[in-house]
Amino acid sequence: MTVSGDLATIDLADLLQNIQVHARTGTLTLVSEEGRAQVFFRDGNVAMLQSDGRASLVERLVAAGVITRRKLENAQRKQRGSRRCLAEILVGTRALSAEVLLAAAEDFLTEDVANLIASAQGEFEFAEAAEPPAGFDADEASLPLALPVAPLILEATRRIDHWAEIRKYVPIDTMHFVAREGARCRAEGEEAETAEALLQALDGARSVRELAEQFPNRRFLCHKLLADLIRDRAVRPATADDLLEIATVTEPDDPARARELVRRALDMEPHHAGLLAAEARLCQQLGDAAASASARKLAAHLHLEAGRTEEARQELERAKALVPSDPGLWERSLAVAIAQGRREDALRDGMHLVGLYRAPGLHARARDVLERLLRIDPEDAALHVELARCRVDCGQAAEALRGLLRRGKQLIGRQDYVTARLVYEEILAIEPGHREASVSVEMIDKEIFVRRRERKRRLARLLATACSVAVLGVAAGVELVARQACLETHSLISQERMIEQRQYADAIQLWETVRTRHRWSLAAWLEVPRHVADLRARLQEAAGPDRGARR
């Protein structure tokens, strides 16, 4: 017989009582958001339990202090090559008695089943079968456990109300708590011993679930006492800094445990710089390069937001060394290089990123990167060629040809014929028989562009020489005319005997007329001023005696 349904419509207590009343043998499977659990019933009584995260019987014996870790390890060594279970070996070696083992197993099973009933939700299925399915603990299966259902239901009912109160203070079992200095618990009687042990264990290194595992037969009591301690402010939630400090101390001996603590702290503060550094270091130490790079990438992002570009660059370089195939890292590294003005680094990172994108066929992304690189170095012909190839792969052959033709003409204009030939060859590779590219390659090979350039240079030199000669001829003509005017003026002054008759002002006027008419000649700049200065001096000398005579 198989029965299935949803616990939202059927009361689990009624289902369990039905199983007991009819003394059924089979497996009850419960599936919820918290995981999967299976309870095996034998003749209506609970015989075994398996659930996600439930520790084995022998591990719980160690946690409860029933046996020591050394005794368990000795039993495990003896088990090798044997078909006997560990529980049988432990009893056989007198590590514990059969009565103690059975009593402990009953306590553990009672605790877990009562908690399971109290928190049951989701879907269920009960399938009758004489034997349990695979997956149950072999040590627990070897014991004649048979827990009646009624006491378990009563205990679960009692715990339901308590769990509602407990969850006010301990909402999830992944939280960590630290006992305050001098903290004490008000528990009395048998609970006092558990409370004292709980306070000793509340150092922040364990989650609530891990703390409860130390009390396998008192897990519910552990939760209840912890809630009481939180209510009384005897303990406080562990902070991210607390977990980081504990992880740092734990790292030398148990790096895996230290990483687990760091990850739990990151759940509380995902942008904690110290935690990210520890996560990157521990992941690298444990061989998880991808996780280490991810932590360093996030740390770099935080550095960039804070304006610490150099620190961000260093983190990205370390991350790239760990995971050189992560495009996200190279994208961020390229952005940092561009922001810092590191041109060579930007080009190197960009070309590596292009390779990463083109390998799986992400040509559009590679094209975008190349366009960014060309804004950094627009003269790099290799970038133009690579961009054209990406455009062809993106189905943009026409645009690729236009870009290469423009680049080829620019290179021809700069007389870089070798690079220009490479560009035109790329055009022919894209479109064989392209007329302009074919003609250009032929002209480069026959040095036609070189000869044209040389002819233009010769013509330019001839024009420059002709212009120079013309300018010199004009200047010589102007100078000759000016010299002739100077001679005529000098001759006129002599003929009119202006100097002898002291007509200095009239002579000065004649020379000023020459300077005005021939102002662009050397004679007007050099010779005429000399004659004018001499005449002015004579005029001043002549004016001196006249003033004396009048006196």
Sheet containing strand 235-237, strands side by side? 203-207, 176-179, 235-237
**Which tokens in the block code for residue 180?**
């305050």
pLDDT of residue 551: 46
Tens digit of each residue's pLDDT (9 = 90 or more) over 458-489: 899 999 999 999 999 998 988 899 889 889 89
Instruction: Report the amino acid identity of residue 308.
Output: R
Neighbours of 518 (CB within 10 A): 21
**Bridge partner list, 4:** 125
Q: Quickly tell me which residue has 């301990």 as its tokens.
A: 170
Q: Which residues contact 493 (CB under 8 A, 6 or more apart)?
A: 499, 507, 510
DSSP 496-516: TTTTTTT-HHHHHHHHHHHHH
The answer to whether 259 and 265 have CB atoms below 8 angstroms apart is no
Supply φ then ψ for residue 10, to 5 degrees.
Answer: -125, 135
pLDDT of residue 545: 60
Q: Enumerate residue ranges in the chain where pLDDT < 50.
A: 551
Tens digit of each residue's pLDDT (9 = 90 or more) over 346-359: 999 999 999 999 99
pLDDT of residue 64: 84
Q: Which residues contact 536 (CB under 8 A, 6 or more apart)?
A: 504, 508
Of the candidates 77, 86, 16, which has an alpha carbon nearest to the alpha carbon of residue 44?
Answer: 16
* DSSP letter, residue 187: -
Sign of the torsion angle spanned by Cα atoms 270, 273, 274, 277: positive
**Distance separating alpha carbons of residues 91 and 97, to the nearest angstrom:** 6
The pairing of strands 45-51 and 35-42 is antiparallel
